[in-house]
């Protein structure tokens, strides 16, 4: 496993993997297999994959420590960037396919509908993380400030979960929300336990 994680092809393959869900949706759209409402399907899929990539990015550190695989860390930034790209595509798909790029309608929708507002907040929180995901940014900010900034990922995750919850609540569909909420609770619980043990030393 360790050799596979540090293989030179590892990162290129991971980027190819991140593109698979989007490619699948696009190909399904071209083939007319996105159902009765292809726009809604595209918006939904990009948003849910943004959530999945973000959760996986947050899981890297616990998995690294539990399974003693420090090599996993080299994939964390890529997962975070993938989450941001899918979140951005999610918003752009909504702005284009749902609102036709009409700025007044988009702004009115953001102000009026809480689940869209909190989704935009999540995207805003993720933006500086994506923009500082490169080695040059780490050097410019310094390690300590970079790590502090990237703790925003947890705030973004909470906002993403609220966005997903309020979206699903309109259809009384909570099964997926519970799964993602339990996952985030476990990640936050691990982080809190780790912090408490460090403080107690």
Instruction: Express each pLDDT in 52-67 by its tens digit.
Output: 999 999 999 999 998 8
Judge whether 21 and 49 are in contact, CB under 8 Å.
yes
The HSE-up count of residue 10 (CA atoms within 13 Å, CB side) is 16
pLDDT given at position 201: 55
Please identify which residue in the block is written with the tokens 């500086």: 128
Domain extents in the chain? 2-199
Spatial separation of the C-alpha atoms in residues 91 and 31, rounded to whole Å: 23
Instruction: Express each pLDDT in 105-157 by its tens digit.
Output: 999 999 999 999 999 999 999 999 999 999 899 999 998 999 999 999 999 99
Tokens coding 113: 């509908």
CA distance to 17, 56, 74, 100, 140, per residue, from 53 (Å): 11, 5, 15, 27, 26
pLDDT at 196 > cutoff 80: no
Judge whether 138 and 146 are in contact, CB under 8 Å.
yes
pLDDT given at position 5: 87
pLDDT at 48 > cutoff 90: yes
Spatial separation of the C-alpha atoms in residues 157 and 125, rounded to whole Å: 9
Query: How many other CB atoms are there within 10 angstroms of residue 60's CB atom?
Result: 19
CA-nearest of 125, 115, 31, 116 to 84 is 125
* Alpha-carbon torsion angle 42, 134, 118, 156, nearest 10: 110
Spatial separation of the C-alpha atoms in residues 185 and 195, rounded to whole Å: 15
Judge whether 120 and 165 are in contact, CB under 8 Å.
no
pLDDT given at position 30: 87
Spatial separation of the C-alpha atoms in residues 48 and 191, rounded to whole Å: 23
Instruction: Express each pLDDT in 68-111 by its tens digit.
Output: 999 999 999 999 999 999 999 999 999 999 999 999 999 999 99
Length, in residues, of the chain: 201
Average pLDDT along the chain: 92
């Amino acid at each position: 496993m360790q050799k596979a994680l540090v293989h030179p092809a590892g990162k290129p393959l991971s980027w190819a993997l991140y593109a698979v869900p989007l490619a699948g949706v696009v190909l399904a759209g071209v083939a007319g297999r996105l159902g009765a409402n292809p726009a809604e399907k595209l918006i939904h899929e990009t948003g849910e994959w943004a959530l999945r990539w973000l959760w996986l990015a947050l899981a890297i550190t616990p998995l690294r420590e539990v399974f003693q695989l420090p090599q996993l860390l080299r994939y964390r930034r890529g997962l975070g960037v993938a989450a941001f790209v899918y979140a951005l595509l999610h918003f752009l798909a909504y702005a284009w396919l749902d609102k036709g790029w009409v700025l007044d309608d988009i702004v009115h929708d953001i102000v009026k509908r809480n689940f869209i507002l909190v989704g935009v907040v999540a995207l805003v929180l993720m933006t500086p993380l994506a923009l500082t995901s490169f080695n040059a940014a780490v050097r410019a900010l310094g390690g300590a400030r970079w790590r502090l900034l990237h703790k925003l990922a947890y705030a973004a995750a909470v906002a993403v979960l609220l966005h997903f919850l309020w979206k699903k609540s309109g259809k009384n569909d909570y099964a997926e929300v519970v799964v993602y909420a339990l996952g985030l609770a476990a990640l936050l619980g691990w982080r809190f336990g780790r912090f408490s043990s460090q403080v107690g030393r």
